[in-house]
Amino acid sequence: MHPVTSNTAPERDRWDLVIEPHGHVLDLKLRELWQYRDLIALFVRRDFVAQYKQTILGPAWHLIQPLLTTITFTIIFGKIAKIPTDGVPPFLFFMAGTVLWTYFSGVLTGTSGTFTSNAGIFGKVYFPRLAVPVAGLLSKLIAFGIQFLFFLCFLAFFMWRGADVAPNAWALLTPLLLLMMAALGLGLGVIVSSLTTRYRDLTVVVGFGVQLLMYATPVIYPLSVLPEPYRTWMLLNPMAPIMEIFRHAYLGAGDVSVGLLLYAAALIGLILVVGILLFNRVERTFMDTV
């Protein structure tokens, strides 16, 4: 901060930036978040580079992890359990689910530790606290881009081999599906992060909670294999229509419902708003409890 000279006020009394607490819970200061976009870019680079900085294979793990997970799912759920995959090659079916779920779960788990993991820097320097989870979301988006291109390479190979897959115009909704997953992961993550300032047990719960949530999402099975009552309950999960539409867009399998997509978008929007409001409220006093 640099003082602005003036002929009418003492130099020490005029500043180009004034740091003050939020006046009310709805004062989100999103414009200030945009002003700190350079800092967010630095956080994005830090999060992406530091993840595998001292590993031998480095960023190659972004490809190895989904590949090994897909192979494991193909063997266990495709070959041994013989779970149907709506007529598409099991490898592509499981890879599509793995790539999407990896992004969503990464945003959720990364965001859920915002306050506890960054208490040191939060207590020393001022910047919009929401910059940290937003940066984490963007760094995970880079990893998703790498894995998504990896998936498209396998898709092209299987199509060349004559596999029964049919990419279609629904693929144009990919940016919207990404936005919805990012908003859902961010919303749930900041809710958990805000609550962990008082209830540290949630840091343990979120780890296996995300794993349990995967089984409540059609990642390793299609919705078509579920009996009707269970399918109805499954569709209450906003990730379910996102997963189904993504598979339909690139593989030609899965159910597509515009109504369910609108329902998911509305629920995700509500979760995001509640999460940001709670984050904004906890931000003012979290240093007293962390």
pLDDT in tens, 94-103: 999 999 999 9
Structure tokens at 120: 């040191």
Contact 103, 278 (CB under 8 A): no
Phi first, then psi, for residue 221 (nearest 5°) are -155, 155
Contact 142, 44 (CB under 8 A): yes
pLDDT value of residue 288? 47
pLDDT value of residue 133? 86
Between 13 and 227, the more confident residue is: 227
pLDDT in tens, 166-204: 899 999 999 999 999 999 999 998 888 888 877 776 777
Give this prediction's pTM.
0.84
Percent of the chain at pLDDT > 70 equals 81
Averaged pLDDT score across all residues of the chain? 82
* Span 125-143, average pLDDT: 82
pLDDT in tens, 57-85: 667 778 888 999 999 999 999 889 889 88
pLDDT in tens, 237-284: 999 999 999 999 999 887 788 899 999 999 999 999 998 888 777 766
How many C-beta atoms surround the C-beta of residue 273 within 10 A? 13
* Span 27-32, average pLDDT: 65
Contact 111, 190 (CB under 8 A): yes
